[in-house]
Amino acid sequence: MSENMRPLSVKITTDQLVSLDELLRTQAFPTRSEAIRAEIIDFIRRMKGKY
Q: In the chain, where are the structural domains located?
A: 14-48
What pTM did the predictor assign?
0.74
Exposure of 21 by Cβ count < 10 A (0-12 exposed, 13-18 middle, 19+ buried)?
A: exposed
Helix (H, G, I), strand (E, B) or coil at 8: coil
**Long-range contact set of residues 11-15: C-beta below 8 Å, sequence gap at least 24:** none
Whole-number pLDDT of residue 49: 81
CA dist list (Å): 26 to 8, 20, 33, 34, 35: 25, 10, 16, 14, 12
pLDDT of the chain, 51 residues: tens digit per residue: 567 999 999 999 999 999 999 989 898 889 999 999 999 999 999 999 866
